[in-house]
Amino acid sequence: MAGAAGATRMSSMRTRIMIALAAVALGGLMATTGCSFRESICAGGEYPAIAVGAQGGSACFPDGQEPTPPYVRYPEGKVPQYVDDEWDVYWRSHGIDENNNIIET
């Protein structure tokens, strides 16, 4: 009987150790990959466009299709690609007026 109880205790301890190691490994994986994840502004096959006016806003349109009013294409070289990238942050405080001029909002 004592042998069976000891084996059960060892099995239980081994299970706890495996769970702890799995948790540490998962935590390490999340720490190393979590920071490198970048969310795209639009899905594949789409591009972002900005709404005309101080209120701004954006929408995604299929590649090859022109944006519909009130949206226009972002100025060349100033197109946000990922959430919180340089241009995504920039356009939070800027917009496009009806003459395609960049304005501060």
pLDDT tens digits for 14-65? 888 888 888 787 776 666 655 668 999 999 999 999 999 988 899 999 999 9
pLDDT tens digits for 65-103? 999 999 999 999 999 999 999 999 999 999 999 999 999
pTM, entire model: 0.65
d(CA 83, CA 32): 19
